[in-house]
Structure 1
Amino acid sequence: VLPSLREKHDEFMLRELVKRWGNHKVMVRWLSRFFYYLDRYFIARRSLPPLNEVGLTCFRELVYQELKVKVSDAVISLIDKEREGEQIDRALLKNILDIFVVIGMGQMDYYENDFEAALLKDSAAYYSRKASSWISEDFCPDYLLKAEECLKQVKDRISHYLHSSSEPKLLEKVQHELWSVYASHLFEKEHSGYHALLTGDKVENLSRMVRVFSKVPIFLDPLANIFKQHVTDEGTALVKQAEDEADSRKANKKDVGLQQQVFVRKLIELHDKYVAYVNGRFQNHILLHKAFKEAFEALCNKGVGGSSIAELLATFCDDILKKGSSEKLGDEATEEMLEKVVKLLSYISDKDLFSEFYRKKLARRLLFDKSANDDHERSMLTKLKQQCGGQLTSKMEGMVTDLTLAKENQTSFEEYLSNNRNANPGIELTVTVLTTGFWPSYTSFDLNLPVEMVKCVKVFREFYQTKTKHRKLTWIYSLGTCNIIGNFEPRSTELMVTTSQASALLLFNSSDRLSYSEIMTQLNLTDDDVVRLLHSLSSAKYQILNKESNTKSIAPTDHFEFNSKFTGKMQRIK
């Protein structure tokens, strides 16, 4: 056996070894059969090693020990050729490496010491040379592609002819040479490193880089920190842009509301973009998910142009949900947008602040019939409840319930009026009864109502006492509206005004000219309230009253008259 092996080299020597090893195993098997009785009984009684073991030991001591270095070198030489793209006989290598395993008779010492150690050393040197060459020549994405292909090839070799126990050790060696040594270069490489890939939204390449470095635990923290900083920087730039535009609009005396809506939309787009990164391309890796969450928490708790993001989100929802919205969305798009707003809300620490802003805007939509769709209102409350808990939405749900009960109450009131001819308010009256604890606090003041309205209040109070005697009614005149007919000389016009405005205008049914002090006394209002009221009627868009002085400001010395010459373009004005 030995002479025939000594005179051959490389692959020819390996083929001869496989042949001789096969012959040896056949002879040992036949010897075991010939001397089965001795092997089974005589050897066992004398505590001698079995024939099969003796046969392996003979081959190991006489053949293996002399040729192991030569064989190991020949195998590694073939593996090197395969790395360079040459075709090799994988079945031959599988048979050779089985000899290293079997010769240990249950132990892996011979495989590990005589072959695996040399393979690991050679692999480290080979991939170190390759990595050094690629990192200086290639862009980061190209480097990653080549490195990933190398890992794929290593796994392929392990599955075909290397022993499975080599997999973790060999992969660790290769990853160290390809990733660990050049990690900082890959992070910071100009035009194609991790920073550049994030900035340029190179999704496939980013995905590859995260996939690669997630296998090297010590680089996950730097990867997550860079990602967090990048998201933070983009968010900060968005806030800075919004603040600059807000300052510009204020300087030009333009409404900043539209610009705030644009900011929230961009914030939602930014969130969608990086959620897709984390959940898809980054495989929802826990460290990257945590980094993204921390970045957005910091961003969503900043102020933007004097407003909190909680307030901006509430305003954005209001714009979506009210009639005449600037956001022309279908039902599905509205639901999707509301869902995204609620997701952003999860990053805000002071959710009660959002709740207060949202509740006030919801109240206005409900009380003044400005909700575009009741189903969307209920859906939003359900989303908020699921995200933030029932405590946040309990008052809002109470408000919606109040409105439903108020409609039933109004129906009962109309039935009461039809059944009681004496209880006639004289004018059409709609009353919305609210529960104090659910609604935002509104200023209540003792307005001296005109006789027509006093009668209405009295009739409704009598009706309400038939339903309950344990609840006190407090009238919130600031939320009331009236439709009155203005008999102007050109034509009659329907005026949609507040309760206070109606009370002031009805004073002119009995007087042609009234002073500031007379109006204040008759209505029982404070100076501030009277100034606001008279300004809205005499110096605003529609001048229902004529003021004697030509100034736009209201003074205590002013006198007012009904503007009988008033003309409006429409039959009904608000």
Structure 2
Amino acid sequence: MSKDRKTTELEEGWEYMQNGISKLKGILDGSLEQFSSEEYMMLYTTIYNMCTQKPPNDYSQQLYDKYKEAFQVYINSTVLPSIREKHDEFMLRELVKRWVNHKIMVRWLSRFFNYLDRYFIARRSLPPLNEVGLTCFRDLVYQEVHSQAKDAVLDVIGKERDGEQIDRALLKNVLDIYVEIGMSQMDHYADDFEAHMLQGTGAYYSVKAANWIREDSCPDYMIKAEECLKRERDRVSHYLHSSSEIKLVEKVQHELLVVNANQLLEKEHSGVRALLRDDKVEDLSRMFRLYHKVTRGLEPVSNVFKQHITAEGTALIQQAEDAASSQAANGGVQEQVLIRKIIELHDKYMTYVTACFQNHTLFHKAMKEAFEIFCNKTVAGSSSAELLATFCDTILRKGGSEKLSDEAIEETLEKVVKLLAFISDKDLFAEFYRKKLARRLLFDRSANDEHERSILSKLKQQCGGQFTSKMEGMVTDLQLAKEHQSSFDEYLANNPSTRPGIDLQVNVLTTGYWPTYKSSDINLPAEMARGVEVFKEFYDLKSKHRKLTWIYSLGSCHINAKFDQKTIELVVTTYQACLLMLFNTSDKLSYSEIMTQSNLSDDDLPRLLHSLSCGKYKILSKEPNTKTVNQNDYFEFNHKFNDRMRRIKVPLPLVDERKKVVEDVDKDRRYAIDAAIVRIMKSRKVLGHQQLVLECVEQLNLMFKPDIKAIKKRIEDLISRDYLERDKENPNMFKYLA
């Protein structure tokens, strides 16, 4: 820079600048061409020179003030008059045009005055030129017209809501002014526009909702509500600021869904109850979509869902109860139908939970609670635990069920295990199931080993390893028993002299796995006794340290009976066979003689003699010929008996095992409660009564719902056995005694 540069005075320099500003206005209104690079450089240099002259000719402050003044003059002389003379959409268009021009003007002037920005403003910490330019527009134009503009915008939005086509781009541009004028703060948009827009939206939809709730069905109302929400979101994406979306949607939801929730959901012929009753899957899905976005909006829906399932399930139980009492002789078929129907009910509503209610936890919970209510009711004296075990038995037993494919059986077993989750007495199910599994395995009634193993693995997953350990042991035991039998057959083949003279099959089982069975010292016929001896000799060779206990009550025999007409093979239990063999040496025997010779008790004998003399097949004749067996009766072999079959199975009257199972389970529960109390006290050392009971219930809940009274009783028992003691000061506190 040369030292003898001519000083530019303020008036002279500013006059030159004003010519430049005039040209800029001409460019903006389209009457003049763009600046040439020479003109641009001259304007920039003029400012540069005026700011870099030595004091007192450094005009930085004066130019900073004149920069602002230039905008004020232009706005007051040109911008405001042109906006004031227009109204409604025309005013909005003018406002947008003037704002766009203003931003261009700010950009150009900021370039000309750039030297101020870089040095003077930076040193003095003054607002930058860009900000000064925008502030002028805000203070002079925006403050005057924002309220009028907001009314015009809301008016246009109202037209769009009523179905008119509008200029969305125009609204977007106007609302951008509210955002940009805040210079990265949103308060102008929020206070001057959004708050009014939300208030208007609420009022608009409040009127709509009041009409629709009167006139429309619940599904029709929801279709309209969903459509409105979609349109409002659409509005945000096209011209409202994205920060408005949540507030706007909440406002519409409040007016359409929250305010009228009860009235809508409880509409008599079309509310939630009716939609569930009529399987309106699509409407229920829509209801979920709408209400899952409303805070706690789904609770009333899930409550009705729970009530609905409970009512349907309870009706099924009632039907089964009625059918069972009217067809007492139907032998449990009704109960099997019931379990099938409950499975179908579960399938149906599980589809609702996954499809309509998108697997929402609230509906899983509602369904679980509903099923727990009716799945724990008794039917015709049978608990659901027993019914479920019987149902499994029907499916897994040979000839027990209608012919199902392997896939269908697997699927059904999967569903049964799911139902088990709703049953509180899982231990009772386990005991019934174990009893029935034992019968299937011991009497070779199991249809398929694979299915037996498959359900056990499913039960293990659901209830844990402890639940199935004994059952798994039983299945393994039977495999081992088959191997034992093969070894025994081999042993007999190699030692012909030891053969007992009858075909003998023995299952050797592990006591701990199986249910307990009565072993009685029945007097076996010589042939059978010989067989037992031979097997014992064989078994002692293999395992000297194990003791065999013979459970004759579980055995079965095939014996040939020679009647006058023909010989018939009888399939009977070991006990029945022992009684029949007595008639090889005597024609006629009294009840007491039979009792003495067989060594059976009054518990077993009447039932056995009844099966042979009063049942379907009268192998023995009885005097007197009555339907019941008494201690004064006489029996003789019925030579005249005949049947068209060459082989018949002589059934034994069924013994109701229910009482025994329930007693066993009660006993096990006492042990389980004791163990839980000791476990808790061992880890806590000192605990209050309330807390101990709570923790005990929590631990045992997986298998059964413990009775509070039973827990109290067990606590007393453990105190008497010196496992716990009461605190001397506070009788509600217990101490653990190691």
For 1:256 and 1:159, the matched residues in 2 are separated by: 67
**1:221 match:** 299
The residue type equivalent to 1:12 in the other structure is: F
1:400 partnered with 2:478: no
SS of aligned partner of 1:218:
coil
Aligned-pair distance for 1:280? 2.0
TM-score normalised according to structure 1 size:
0.97
What is the 5 A alignment of 1:7-26?
Answer: 7-26=85-104
Aligned-pair distance for 1:491? 1.3
For 1:169 and 1:106, the matched residues in 2 are separated by: 20
- 213-222 vs 367-376, which deviates more? 213-222
1:197 partnered with 2:272: no
**2:223 match:** 145
Question: 1:380-422: per-residue Cα shift (whole Å, max 9, x none)?
Answer: 1110011101101000011011101100000111111111122
**2:332 match:** 257
1:79 partnered with 2:157: yes
What is the 5 A alignment of 1:61-140?
Answer: 61-140=139-218
Aligned-pair distance for 1:237? 1.6
Question: 1:155-212: per-residue Cα shift (whole Å, max 9, x none)?
Answer: 1111111111111211111111001110010121110111221222211111211221
SS of aligned partner of 2:398:
coil
SS of aligned partner of 1:422:
helix
What is the 5 A alignment of 1:5-404?
Answer: 5-250=83-328, 254-404=329-479
For 2:497 and 2:609, the matched residues in 1 are separated by: 36
* Contact residue 323 and residue 372 of structure 1 kept, 8 A: yes
Aligned-pair distance for 1:531? 1.4
For 2:290 and 2:380, the matched residues in 1 are separated by: 41
Aligned-pair distance for 1:304? 2.1
SS of aligned partner of 1:387:
helix
Question: 1:451-502: per-residue Cα shift (whole Å, max 9, x none)?
Answer: 1111101101111110112111111111111111111121111111111111
- 552-561 vs 105-114, which deviates more? 552-561
For 2:338 and 2:534, the matched residues in 1 are separated by: 50
For 1:288 and 1:548, the matched residues in 2 are separated by: 67
- 401-410 vs 55-64, which deviates more? 55-64
Aligned-pair distance for 1:259? 0.3
SS of aligned partner of 2:568:
strand
For 1:249 and 1:392, the matched residues in 2 are separated by: 35
* Contact residue 210 and residue 282 of structure 1 kept, 8 A: yes
For 2:633 and 2:304, the matched residues in 1 are separated by: 67
The residue type equivalent to 2:438 in the other structure is: A
**2:690 match:** none
Larger radius of gyration: 2
What number of residue pairs does the alignment pair up?
Answer: 571
For 2:331 and 2:558, the matched residues in 1 are separated by: 32
- 135-144 vs 543-552, which deviates more? 543-552
Match of 1:486 among 537, 561, 580: 561
What is the 5 A alignment of 1:514-529?
Answer: 514-529=589-604
* Contact residue 385 and residue 392 of structure 1 kept, 8 A: yes
Aligned-pair distance for 1:305? 2.2
TM-score normalised according to structure 2 size:
0.76
For 1:209 and 1:305, the matched residues in 2 are separated by: 40
Match of 1:450 among 517, 525, 530: 525
The residue type equivalent to 2:363 in the other structure is: L
SS of aligned partner of 1:527:
coil
The residue type equivalent to 1:372 in the other structure is: A
SS of aligned partner of 1:443:
coil
**2:571 match:** 496
SS of aligned partner of 2:621:
strand
For 1:107 and 1:186, the matched residues in 2 are separated by: 41
1:474 partnered with 2:549: yes
- 11-20 vs 113-122, which deviates more? 11-20
- 256-265 vs 215-224, which deviates more? 215-224
- 205-214 vs 122-131, which deviates more? 205-214
Question: 1:520-559: per-residue Cα shift (whole Å, max 9, x none)?
Answer: 1110111232211111111111111122322122222222
- 547-556 vs 425-434, which deviates more? 547-556
For 2:395 and 2:489, the matched residues in 1 are separated by: 34
**2:493 match:** 418
SS of aligned partner of 1:542:
coil
Match of 1:437 among 490, 512, 534: 512
The residue type equivalent to 2:87 in the other structure is: H
Question: 1:332-359: per-residue Cα shift (whole Å, max 9, x none)?
Answer: 0000000000001112222111000000
Gaps of 5+ in 1: none
* Contact residue 322 and residue 371 of structure 1 kept, 8 A: yes
The residue type equivalent to 2:86 in the other structure is: K
For 1:343 and 1:321, the matched residues in 2 are separated by: 17
Identity %: 70
1:534 partnered with 2:613: no
SS of aligned partner of 2:498:
coil
For 1:508 and 1:180, the matched residues in 2 are separated by: 86
Aligned-pair distance for 1:287? 2.0
Question: 1:110-133: per-residue Cα shift (whole Å, max 9, x none)?
Answer: 111111111011101111111111
* Contact residue 513 and residue 559 of structure 1 kept, 8 A: yes
For 1:64 and 1:347, the matched residues in 2 are separated by: 67
**2:7 match:** none
* Contact residue 319 and residue 327 of structure 1 kept, 8 A: no
The residue type equivalent to 1:305 in the other structure is: A
For 2:198 and 2:292, the matched residues in 1 are separated by: 22
For 1:555 and 1:110, the matched residues in 2 are separated by: 104
The residue type equivalent to 1:512 in the other structure is: D
Aligned-pair distance for 1:315? 0.4
The residue type equivalent to 2:414 in the other structure is: E
Aligned-pair distance for 1:301? 2.2
For 2:482 and 2:492, the matched residues in 1 are separated by: 15
The residue type equivalent to 1:213 in the other structure is: Y
For 1:280 and 1:220, the matched residues in 2 are separated by: 15
For 1:332 and 1:37, the matched residues in 2 are separated by: 85
The residue type equivalent to 1:234 in the other structure is: E
Gaps of 5+ in 2: 1-78, 650-738
